[in-house]
Structure 1
Amino acid sequence: MHLAQRYRLVSPDRLRMLMERTGSGSAISSRELAARVGVSRGLINNLLNGITKTTRVEVAEGICQVIGVDLLILWAPTGRAVPADDTENKTTAVPA
């Protein structure tokens, strides 16, 4: 099974800062950003609060298009070097 590409938010603070002054010079609220991207306001708020760390490529591209920045300013493609899940991988020792 092939998993869809996901992008990991580089920094919630950077997203918040860029929302305060978009490419047009004006601010955008989480409600307006969500509406223009076509996602829930909860998703945007979860990204801003660090609860959600990754999203689909379409959402990452939409956010960047609305606020007027290049994709890699806010997002890192997941893969070998960037984990796709929202939790850190932890190994547990198994008794022999």
Structure 2
Amino acid sequence: MRSQQNPMVLVSPDLLVLLMKRTGDGCDISVRDLAEAAGCHPSKIGHLRKGLRETATEPEALAIARRLGVDLFVLWKPTGRANPAPFEPEHLMPVAV
């Protein structure tokens, strides 16, 4: 299992869905387009939207927030020693490419 450094935790799947319907530029964005902007697989965005996954790497979280036109901490909360990341089931962990 590959460990994530500085994973970010999604504040709310519903908020992600809402922000995808109306981004900072007033348009909606598809799962595929958001995944491309974040540099991740579309299934990761789908899992985040459905609440099946709660975390993303810091660069992915920042890219998602930027593309949606919001501040990073509107959509994500940081993890660390005082705020540990939730456990991600093995089948949702990233795989080395």
TM-score by length of structure 2 reads 0.81
Residue identity matched to 1:32? D
Residue identity matched to 2:33? E
Query: Aligned Cα RMSD in Å?
Result: 1.7
Over the matched positions of the two proteins, sequence identity in percent amounts to: 43
Instruction: Give, in whole Å, the separation in 1 of the partners of 2:4 and 2:47.
Output: 22
Q: Any gaps of 5 or more consecutive residues in structure 2?
A: 89-97
Matching residue of 1:48: 49
3-state SS of 1:76 partner: strand
Contact 2:4–2:57, Cα closer than 8 Å, also in 1? no
1:3 to partner: Cα distance: 6.0
Query: Residue deviations 1:44-80, cap 9 Å, x none?
Result: 0000011110111000000011111000000010124
Instruction: Give, in whole Å, the separation in 1 of the partners of 2:82 and 2:25.
Output: 33
| 4+ long deviations beyond 4 Å | none
